[in-house]
Structure 1
Amino acid sequence: MPTESRTLTNEWQAFWLAVGFLTRIPMPVRINYSQQLMNQCSLYFPMVGLLLGMLYAGLFTLLSLAWSPLICVLLVLCFHLLITGAFHEDGLADSVDALGGGYTVEKRLEIMKDSRIGTYGTVALVMALALKAALLLDTSNIWLALLVVPCISRITPLLLMAFMPYVTDPEKSKSKPVAESFSRKRLLASCLFTALVALVFSLWLPGLWLAALTAIITIALLWGWYLQRQLGGYTGDTLGASVVFCELVLLLGI
């Protein structure tokens, strides 16, 4: 196979691998799984976020023909949890449980691996979902917020992976293959794509680009600093939490 054709095939597979990694959407193509392909797929996290945003915005528009905005937003959030398997929300709950209940790095990592949810995680999860629904209802254009927020927020974990060490057991983690040998060039491409999305949709949602920049930098710096102090780096769960935090800060800005 020619080099150019092979490269396009690898990128196509990397995109669908990213879809399969972040969602429960069935992959329509056969994936020739490899460590390198798993590393490459992280480039497409914001693009997968935009795909999810299109589904959320379309579903909200359809539901709004029959129900009030509150009911529509709650139904879209239910759909989000279903189609993503509550992937990032699970990371939020585990992270808060671990960071709130552990007094050493070892204990925090041990709690984070526990599949059971504790008081801290439950409270964080309920408040995050409630705040997300309230902020969406308070925006001037709900469907547009549903469209762009999932895309922009998924650049934050890439920044954490690029500039922080990985600190959990590589044999028991789903995110380790994505984080290993992270390409800064691919990070730049993801950032440019996210910036383009923010700039284009700022035409309909004034100030979006500034809210996006503020949310990404704020969460990357503050959450990254806190993780460095508490864990010495990041874990897969803390990456998921960063997405939820970035979504909330971005919605606050919008």
Structure 2
Amino acid sequence: MSLPRLRLSEEWQTFWLAISFLTRLPVLINIDYSPRLMSNSSTYFPLVGLLLGIIYAAAYSVLEIMFSPLVAVLLVMVLHLWLTGAFHEDGLADSLDGLGGGYTLEDRLRIMKDSQIGTYGVIALVMALLLKAALLVESQVTWLALLIAPCISRLTPLLLMRWLPYITGKKTSKTGSVANAFPTERLLPAVLFTVLVIALGSFWLQALAPLALAATLGVALIWGSYLKRQLGGHTGDSLGACVVFSELVLLAGLV
């Protein structure tokens, strides 16, 4: 196989690896897994987010014909939790449990790795879901919010991965290959793709660009600064949490 075709085949596998990592969607190809491929798959997080957004927006367009906006939004959120396995929401709950209940670095990391959810995690998860539902219902462009928010919010963890070192309380981690060695040169394509989505979305909402900047760079700076003080770096759970935060900031701006 020629070098260009080999590289194209590798990128195709990398894209599907990103889908398998972030969602429960079926993988339609065979993937020659490697830690490098897993690390490179982060490049496609915003694209996977856009694919999810297309599903959510399409589902909402059908559901709002049959149900009230609130019911339609809640059903789409159920679909989201099922398609993603509540991946990022789990990270939010674990992060707030650890950061809220731990007094030392070791305690915080240990609590984050605990499979049981605590008071801080429950409160954070319930409030985040309630707020997301309320913001989507209040939005004048709910379909657009559902379409672009998953894409834009999944750029934020890439920014955090390039800014902060990866830390973990265990020698092995399911997110380690993604979070620990994301190559700098692969950040630019993800940024450019997200900017393109923002530019297209601006045809419907002119204020989208500054809102997207606040939801990505703003959240990365604020959440990242807090993580740096509390942990000295980021964890896989904290990356999931920043996706939820980015979505909420963007949705609040859209309202």
TM-score w.r.t. length of structure 2: 0.98
- Rounded Cα–Cα distance in structure 2 between residues aligned with 1:210 and 1:216: 10
Within 2, Cα distance between the matches of 1:169 and 1:147? 35
Aligned to 2:117: 117
Take 1:225 and 1:126, find their aligned partners in 2: how far apart are those partners?
A: 24
Aligned to 2:163: 163
Root mean square deviation of aligned Cα: 0.9
Match of 2:132, SS state, is helix
Residue of structure 2 equivalent to 1:14 = 14
**8 Å Cα contact 2:165-2:180 kept in structure 1:** no
8 Å CA contact 2:91, 2:239 repeated in 1: yes
Match of 2:80 in 1: 80
Alignment partner, residue 56 of structure 2:
56
Counterpart for residue 132 of structure 1? 132
Partner of 1:233: 233
Q: What amino acid is aligned across from residue 148 of structure 1 in structure 2?
A: I
Partner of 2:34: 34
Could you say if the C-alpha distance between residues 84 and 217 of structure 1 is closer, same or farther in structure 2, counting changes exceeding 3 Å?
Answer: same
Q: Do residues 187 (structure 1) and 180 (structure 2) align? A: no
1:210-229 alignment to 2 at 5 Å? 210-229=210-229
AA at the equivalent of 2:18: A
CA contact (8 A) 1:170 1:176 kept: no
Q: 1:16: how far off?
A: 0.4
Shift of 1:169: 4.0
Q: What letter matches 1:25 in structure 2?
A: L
* Identity percentage of aligned residues: 59
Unaligned runs of 5+ residues in structure 2 are none
Q: How far has the Cα of 1:180 moved from its partner?
A: 3.2
1:22 partner letter:
L
Unaligned runs of 5+ in 1: none
Q: What is the rounded CA distance, in whole Å, between the counterparts of 2:179 and 2:96 in structure 1?
A: 22
Partner of 2:147: 147
Aligned counterparts of 1:104 and 1:162: Cα–Cα separation in 2: 25
Query: Is 2:70 the counterpart of 1:70?
Result: yes
Instruction: Tell me, in whole angstroms, the C-alpha distance in 2 between the residues paired with 1:29 and 1:91.
Output: 28
In structure 2, distance between residues paired with 1:170 and 1:161: 18
Q: In the comparison of the two structures, how many residue pairs are matched? A: 254
